[in-house]
Amino acid sequence: MGSNYLERVKVFSYNLISLTIFIILWFWVARWQASPFFASPAEIAQGFMQMVTVGDEEGITIFMHLWQSLIRVFSGFGAACVLGIPGGLALGLFPFIYNRTRIIIEPLRFISPIAWIPVAIVLLVGFTRYVFVIWVASFFPIFITTLWSVRNVNLIHINVARVAGASRWFVITRIIVPATLPYIAGGMRVSLGISWMCIVAAEMIGGEMVGIGRLILKSSMMHRMDLVVVGMLTIGILGYCLNEVFIKVEKRIFRWRAAVSID
């Protein structure tokens, strides 16, 4: 208990030192550049306060931008989980289906989600555009991870259950699904990060004025690089926090495993 606490304090201290050094270097580079297009930490802090209290040029605060982006990301991410996990389980349990449709599945998953944005703009409107792009970005990491995790289930466990007279349904629900859950959770965490990268691009050309991606685009057009960095940092910090929460939940749920390694 004591050693774990000291280790956490040590890790926190190293991270704090790293952050301090980074901010100091950033400050000196900004001072050396002396350019209106390279915002200093102080200017970014002022820009953040403006976005919190006043908002951008249209009076939209950072919280309004962030709320819209969160709704879009989690709607598409949720849809990807609803379709990707059962789909991956089904094709993992019945590999002949995957083998006969691989010619369609594999080329589709290599298409960049950004490439689907023009298609979404032409065929869809409003909120559905963003949900579709995020769904495309999130679906295949979850689907492929689930598919291959089924194939990697230890056959010894399955054979022992069969020898004991277990039914197919018992093997699926009590052995295969529990064994795949840690890998599915890892795929979900990866896909959530990809979703955040794609929502910024989608919001930049999506046509609506609210969203972190739109904030970055509008600010760059007005040469407000401080607000551009505010938007970038907001995405980075929120993504980091979501990832840490995901890891904590993952470790707590899968305590039955020896470890959930994230290194």
> Which CATH number fits the domain that encloses residue 223?
1.10.3720.10
258 assigned to some structural domain: no
Burial 230-260 (b: 16+ CB within 10 A, else e): bbeebbeebbeebbeebeeebeeeeeeeeee
Say yes or no: 19 and 88 in one domain. no
Say yes or no: 11 and 45 in one domain. no
134 assigned to some structural domain: yes
Say yes or no: 73 and 195 in one domain. yes
47 assigned to some structural domain: yes
pLDDT at 21 over 60: yes
pLDDT at 86 over 90: yes
Task: State the Cα angle at 71 between 135 and 208, rounded to 5°.
Answer: 90
261 assigned to some structural domain: no
pLDDT average, residue stretch 115-137: 87
Q: Check if the beta carbon of residue 136 is closer than 8 Å to that of residue 116.
A: yes
| Dihedral pair phi/psi, residue 6, rounded to 5° | -65, -35
Task: State the Cα angle at 238 between 232 and 243, rounded to 5°.
Answer: 125
What is the domain count for the chain? 2
Question: How far is residue 263's CA from residue 260's CA, in Å, rounded to a whole number?
Answer: 9
206 assigned to some structural domain: yes
Say yes or no: 64 and 82 in one domain. yes
The mean pLDDT value of the chain amounts to 86
Give residue 70's pLDDT band: very low, low, confident or very high (50, 70, 90). Answer: very high
260 assigned to some structural domain: no
Say yes or no: 139 and 88 in one domain. yes
262 assigned to some structural domain: no
What are the CB-based long-range contacts (under 8 Å, 24+) for 249-257? 250/182, 250/185, 250/186, 250/189, 253/181, 253/185, 254/181, 254/182, 254/185, 257/182
In whole angstroms, how large is the CA radius of gyration of the chain? 23
Question: How far is residue 47's CA from residue 65's CA, in Å, rounded to a whole number?
Answer: 15
pLDDT average, residue stretch 202-214: 81
Supply the range of the domain harboring residue 246: 39-253
- Count of helix runs (H) and strand runs (E) in the chain: 11, 0
Say yes or no: 121 and 147 in one domain. yes
For residue 44, the SS3 value is helix
Q: Which of 213, 237, 209, 223 is nearest to 43 (CA)?
A: 223
Q: Check if the beta carbon of residue 148 is closer than 8 Å to that of residue 93.
A: no
234 assigned to some structural domain: yes
Say yes or no: 93 and 209 in one domain. yes
Q: Which of 210, 239, 250, 230 is nearest to 39 (CA)?
A: 230
Q: Which of 85, 176, 71, 82 is nearest to 128 (CA)?
A: 71
Q: Is 67 exposed, middle or buried (0-12, 13-18, 19+ CB in 10 A)?
A: middle
Q: Which of 87-91, 158-162, 209-213, 253-257: highest mean pLDDT?
A: 87-91
Say yes or no: 129 and 19 in one domain. no
Predicted pLDDT of residue 173: 85
Say yes or no: 43 and 20 in one domain. no
Say yes or no: 194 and 69 in one domain. yes
Say yes or no: 46 and 15 in one domain. no
Q: What is the pTM of this model?
A: 0.82
pLDDT average, residue stretch 217-237: 88
Say yes or no: 147 and 225 in one domain. yes
